[in-house]
Structure formats: C-alpha cells, structure tokens
Amino acid sequence: MKLTLGFSPCPNDTFIFDALIHHKVDTEGLNFEVFYDDVETLNQKALNNVLDITKLSFHAFAYVAHQYALLDAGSALGFGVGPLLICKAEHLNRINEELKQENPQLKVAIPGKLTTANFLLGIAYPQLTNKTEIVFSEIEEALVNDTFDLGLIIHENRFTYQQKGLHKLKDLGTFWEEKTHCAIPLGGIVVSRNLPVEIQQKVNRLVKKSVEYAFSNPKSGLDFIKEHAQAMDEAVMYKHIELYVNQYSVDLGEEGRKAIDTLFSLATQNKVIPGIEKDLYVNP
C-alpha cells in the first residue's frame, strides 16, 4: 500500500523520516510517496486534504482536526525552541516606541498565517496587524534590506540572525513557557481519518520506529539530511536537530498532550480558532 507523505526539507524532519522512507525499519507493507514543502505549503495542503500523512503547524491542525488525527510520534515540542521576533539592531529604539502605540504600522514578515509562530505573535503583540507572509528562509534578508520592520523567524534562522546584524526583540517560546509552564508545541505529524484505523495505528507505530532508529543511528541519514539542508553548515544542522527532535518526538506522552491541549484551549479562548469537536489523537 502506498501513502502520500509530506514533510519539510529541514533537518529535524529529514532526521525523523530518513529510516521510514528508506526502509531502514520494517514498514509493514507500506510505501511512501514523499513531498518536500515548507511548513506553510504543508499547512495549505492539509486544509485541502491533499496528503495521507503530513507535517503541519499545530495552529493549522486546529482547522483540520476533522480530517486528520495527530500521531504520538514525530512532533516538535520543547523548551527554548520557540519562534523569535527580530529586527535590525539600528531600528530597535524606534520600534520599541512604535509598539507602545495602539495601532502601530510596523511591517511584519511572518512565515505563514497558520503557523504556530503567528498564533503566538498574535497573543504577545495583538496590536501588530500589518503582516505579510513570505517564505521563512527569506525573512532575514528582507529585514537586512529594510523591506520589513520586524520578522518572525523559525527553524535554523534562530542560529544565524545575529550574524546579519539583526536583534532579538522577543523570544515567543519564553513568552509561552512563562505563561503556561508547558513545552511549546510547534508542529506535529497527522494522518488522514479517511484511512482505516488499523492503517492510522500502523503509521503511528512506524513513525515512532523511524525516530527511535534515528536516535540510535544519528549519522545514518547524514547524506540525506545534508542533501535537503542545502548550504547549511553541518554544526548548525545538528544544532537544529538537537533543538527540535527530543523525547516528545518519540512519544508525546502526558506532558506533550497537555501542552497541545493548552495551546488549543488558549487559542479558542482568544477566538483565534474555532472550537474543536473531534478527539485530536490517533486511537490507541
């Protein structure tokens, strides 16, 4: 049986899925047609129910929980892993003054309106409404070129922005942790509810095996990870993996589920998302 599978070319995702798609673990008769996309493209595909299995932002998951169920394995949660709101250091004083206004006209580059990063930005800075979506990897250069006043960065850009003379205005991960005392839920792996429950459970099992294999054989997928990381320095690549792949990626567990449930509860209370009627998770 062949299933369509979408995930990003970022090191954390290629690290997680290498063993699965290259049959380094027993896939129990399943094969996968893989699509590599940035997170917002994956979010949009999920909204249109395009793929059988996909990575997506937890914010986006709120809108597709009737179509997809969340796996216990493969998620990106953790402490100290949140998105950063950055600006050019030379503009910091002006921006801080404008943020005191009720309706600042600061131009903000975001990696996607359905990203969890944008959800957190809306909670921390509801007055920032002049937002433009661009590909996450282009945000730093857009700030350097003064196309935008502020940028919301995710993934490996948290390791590179300072080299370009950019300044951290707010760590939205720290903001979340102080507010909730939970790990920050960034992205998860979901499976179509249209698939038979036994296939959903098998996928859940296989993704966990793939993550466990990656942890046991961390260099096994190096060439595959490098291929998709493009020009990324290897040290940065492994920092990225260490930051986003952890015990929650093997199994959400009680703490991981609590963090996700808290995210959706806050989002519903703040009327960022509609209420969710479906159980979020793959049936055990």
Per-residue model confidence as pLDDT tens digits over 31-51? 999 999 988 899 999 999 999
Q: Any binding-site annotation on 271?
A: no
Among 23, 59, 91, 155, the one annotated catalytic: 155
Q: DSSP state, 194? A: T
153 near 139, Cβ under 8 Å? yes
DSSP 8-state code for residue 159: G
- CATH T-level assignment (fold) for domain 84-180: D-Maltodextrin-Binding Protein; domain 2 (3.40.190)
What is the CATH architecture assignment of 2-78+184-269?
Answer: 3-Layer(aba) Sandwich (3.40)
> Is 116 among the annotated ligand-binding positions?
yes
Locate CATH 3.40.190.10 in the chain. Answer: 2-78+184-269, 84-180
Is 183 marked within a binding site? no
Q: Percent of the chain having pLDDT more than 90? A: 72
- 155 or 3: whose pLDDT is higher? 3
Please report where in the chains the tokens 């282009």 appear, as a residue: 138
Give tens-digit pLDDT for 248-279.
999 999 999 999 999 888 888 877 777 787 89
**What pLDDT, on the 0 to 100 scale, is given for residue 147?**
97
Q: Look over the chain and give the mean of its residue pLDDT values, rounded to a whole number.
A: 92
pLDDT in tens, 49-102: 999 999 999 989 999 999 999 999 999 998 887 899 999 999 999 999 999 998
Q: For residue 185, give both structure tokens.
A: 């839920």
Percent of the chain, pLDDT > 70? 99
Q: Where residue 231 falls among pLDDT bands split at 50, 70, 90? A: low
The yes-or-no answer on residue 23 being catalytic is no
149: which 2 tokens?
A: 């006043």
